[in-house]
Structure 1
């Protein structure tokens, strides 16, 4: 009994040792108070969450991203088509052997020479043909002598008819003889003319005035009808650029439109006009040919490569910067901000590309809000905050 009472007394009233044991007990009690306060706060939060239906507070939503948009409108855009092609003579005339041929005795022109219509380009050795011509000329004289004799005999016979020495049948025979002799004269003359024509065809002549492009014959060479082309001449020196174009570009062109042609190796453009458009489209490449007529210049060499810019008139269409137009396997497209500031994809067909921007041929009316940039980071249906791009005013 006394032991329990003393033990209780000792726990209730600790014996002070220099006042230190009571201070330590106070420090131990303080963390316990902080723990109790924390538990109370947790319980209060849990009670608040339970009062709201057992759900945690919803996080605060971030605002939609800001994107720069533009309303392009419509404006008159000068259309142009850029293409490449090969230079050639507009009318190339191959010149070969027109007669029986022979050995070339002289060549009178070189590539790059200008020739007139009918000018001799080369000659073929003709000594045999000249002798044949002389023989035929002599046969004409023989035929004429026979015709003169037949005419004299007929005249004498007609004088004797009145005296009864010559019958009417004799007169008819002598008349026939005279007519046959005259006919032989004409045959001899025709043969002589034919020989002269053959000799004339031994001169290789230019069929029209123009520029000699190539020469494929030398003196001493034996040529004939199967020798092929000996000279090539550009009629009038006129040149052209044969430019291959896609069928949709070819449909925008017409004969007479101006063009600028720049050959490879020079920065000087040459003015030309379209003189012919291909009436067919290649089913394999889906392309046609536009032929651009050019006047002669030494820098325009047939067979060379050149670039061309063809003016295709003006179109009324929206114009967008390159950053606004995207493309993938499905084609070209832009992002448009629609109702509720939701982004949607809009397929477009592009036209000419210039320093001013890209012409939109179809797909936009010009009143849409088109995303200028950052389109690659957007997806259809995304919510955005559109910000109108500042209007670019021309410098005074």
Structure 2
């Protein structure tokens, strides 16, 4: 046996070298066993991970609801924009000689009847002229009355020989001239009265006052600008700008829906006139759509319109089936391999019944009705036909 003596401080320690070598050997063996266990564990983990990858790849395909809409009868529509205006715009100006405006009796937005006075013009001179002519009428009537009396007395004396037939003829002519002067005086008086009446600015027909361009104290005459604008009967219209190709499909009587810009309210109307000409620069024509009066319809404003130009057959889809992005509208269809495909479409009229698709599909495809935002082209899916279809 080998022993070694070492000093630890002031103390002498005897160490058995054989025992120390045995301990080091046991430690090395223990470390090797631990390393072997770690290798085995790593191999087991890698084996399990390799088995889970195929499992993840073989996850079941998602179930999607599809529909084959076929063909349905839907209305053909044309979308257009344009301005609102009075259907019959009546400018009102000075009819007579004019003068200083004394009163303005209406405001924009007022309803007026035919012949109602809108404004009055100062008429003191015309009034005095009318009184003068009225007096002349009375003078002429008095002369005619005197001439008639003289003729009657002459006729009573003609039988006694005091008055000749020639005198009777002369007195008859005098009477007739006096009566003619009465007619002239009455006509002059009526003319002056009519002129005075024309100083009143009146509504040519019943309607709605749109604008007012005159104030009391203003001097107006025959050359003055328009003083008032009226919408006859309050009837309004939209002058829709329609493309040349669409204009050919429109007819008077086609129904339309008009929505003023900035308003959520829509108004039903009908096309009453289709422009016979096309603007050579814009290649557009005007379809005039008559709409009833409403305070939300303001002439001069802008509006959009959907005009129904007929009907035809097209696939009809629920709104959830149609997606859109920067490239336009599209739907997802499921092909024969149960893979998702994108199909670009053209959307027609949107109604409570659904969205009419005018181009891109025939209606026989399997079209995904919902969850399209969570699908990608080429993805495997399990199609399930929508219930009730």
TM-score normalized with structure 2 length: 0.66
Conserved? CA contact 1:351–1:358, under 8 Å: yes
Q: Aligned partners of 1:187, 1:105: CA distance in 2, in Å?
A: 32
Tell me which residue corresponds to 2:306: 309
Conserved? CA contact 1:104–1:221, under 8 Å: yes
Given candidates 117, 125, 128, the residue that maps to 1:128 is: 125
- The answer to whether residue 105 in structure 2 is matched with residue 108 in structure 1 is yes
- The answer to whether residue 279 in structure 2 is matched with residue 276 in structure 1 is no
Given candidates 57, 74, 78, the residue that maps to 2:75 is: 78
Deviation larger for 194-203 or 76-85? 76-85
- The answer to whether residue 137 in structure 2 is matched with residue 140 in structure 1 is yes
Conserved? CA contact 2:94–2:220, under 8 Å: yes
Q: Aligned partners of 1:145, 1:392: CA distance in 2, in Å?
A: 105
1:322 Cα deviation from its structure 2 partner: 8.6
Tell me which residue corresponds to 1:352: 348
Tell me which residue corresponds to 1:177: 174
Given candidates 285, 289, 293, the residue that maps to 1:288 is: 285
Conserved? CA contact 1:273–1:294, under 8 Å: yes
Q: Aligned partners of 1:276, 1:88: CA distance in 2, in Å?
A: 14
Q: Aligned partners of 2:387, 2:357: CA distance in 1, in Å?
A: 19
The secondary structure found in structure 2 opposite 1:241 is: strand
Alignment map for 1:230-245 (pairs within 5 Å):
230-245=227-242
392 and 271 in structure 1: CA distance in 2 versus 1, 3 angstrom threshold: farther
Tell me which residue corresponds to 1:337: none
367 and 193 in structure 1: CA distance in 2 versus 1, 3 angstrom threshold: closer
Tell me which residue corresponds to 2:195: 198
209 and 357 in structure 1: CA distance in 2 versus 1, 3 angstrom threshold: closer
Conserved? CA contact 1:322–1:357, under 8 Å: no
Q: Aligned partners of 1:392, 1:79: CA distance in 2, in Å?
A: 28
The secondary structure found in structure 2 opposite 1:275 is: strand
Q: Aligned partners of 2:160, 2:258: CA distance in 1, in Å?
A: 93
The secondary structure found in structure 2 opposite 1:173 is: helix
Conserved? CA contact 1:86–1:305, under 8 Å: yes
Conserved? CA contact 2:347–2:356, under 8 Å: no
- The answer to whether residue 244 in structure 2 is matched with residue 247 in structure 1 is yes
Task: Give RMSD over aligned pairs.
Answer: 3.5
278 and 391 in structure 1: CA distance in 2 versus 1, 3 angstrom threshold: farther
Gaps of 5+ in 2: 1-67, 328-344, 366-379
Tell me which residue corresponds to 2:371: none
TM-score normalized with structure 1 length: 0.65
Aligned length: 289
Q: Aligned partners of 2:199, 2:274: CA distance in 1, in Å?
A: 40
367 and 133 in structure 1: CA distance in 2 versus 1, 3 angstrom threshold: closer
- The answer to whether residue 100 in structure 2 is matched with residue 117 in structure 1 is no
Deviation larger for 148-157 or 238-247? 148-157
Q: Aligned partners of 1:391, 1:225: CA distance in 2, in Å?
A: 79
1:166 Cα deviation from its structure 2 partner: 2.1
Q: Aligned partners of 1:165, 1:180: CA distance in 2, in Å?
A: 24
Q: Aligned partners of 1:205, 1:394: CA distance in 2, in Å?
A: 68
The secondary structure found in structure 2 opposite 1:111 is: coil
The secondary structure found in structure 2 opposite 1:227 is: coil
Deviation larger for 225-234 or 249-258? 249-258
- The answer to whether residue 219 in structure 2 is matched with residue 222 in structure 1 is yes
The secondary structure found in structure 1 opposite 2:246 is: helix
